[in-house]
Structure 1
Amino acid sequence: MDKMKVTYEAMLGLAAEMTLDEAVLKFRKDRLYQAIDEALVSGDRDTFNRLTEELKMLYI
């Protein structure tokens, strides 16, 4: 029974970590999209290029 509890706790911890990782990734993507939109509006090509490259890295 103890081994099952340890396994359950490990799986629960892994699920929590995966959920947190997904939330952080979504937050980063949302912030990048917002910053990219701002760079487009202001016509800042260098910032736009840098941010889109950073965004591409998140999808790899």
Structure 2
Amino acid sequence: MEKNLLNSPQPELNVLDSLFAEMVLDKALLDFRKEKILQKIDQSLRDKNKREFLRLTEKLKNVS
């Protein structure tokens, strides 16, 4: 059976695709975490909970 080099898997492309997919997932997870912290910050402001607000803003700095 003859191999067609144009249609064979390209390991370099697979690695690049995997890296790109990982970067996209990492970014989505980071955005999700930030959004959850921001929601909690908003709640701490509504509750006038200064201690929680300061804790969460520090956490947000570390996530960014």
TM > 0.5 between the two? yes
TM value normalised by structure 2: 0.84
Letter in 2 for 1:31: K
Provide the rounded CA distance (Å) in 1 between the counterparts of 2:60 and 2:40.
11
Provide the rounded CA distance (Å) in 1 between the counterparts of 2:51 and 2:16.
44
Residue in structure 2 matched with residue 32 of structure 1 by the alignment: 37
Q: Which runs of 4+ in 1 moved over 3 A?
A: none
Residue in structure 1 matched with residue 59 of structure 2 by the alignment: 54
**1:4-42 CA distance string (max 9 Å, x none):** 711000000000000000000000000010000000000
**1:25-60 CA distance string (max 9 Å, x none):** 00000001000000000011111110000001122x
In our comparison, the structure showing a higher alpha carbon Rg is 2
Aligned sequence identity (%): 38
| Number of residues of Structure 1 aligned to a counterpart in Structure 2 | 58
Query: CA-atom RMSD, angstroms?
Result: 1.4
Question: Would you tell me which structure has more helix in proportion to its own residues?
Answer: 1
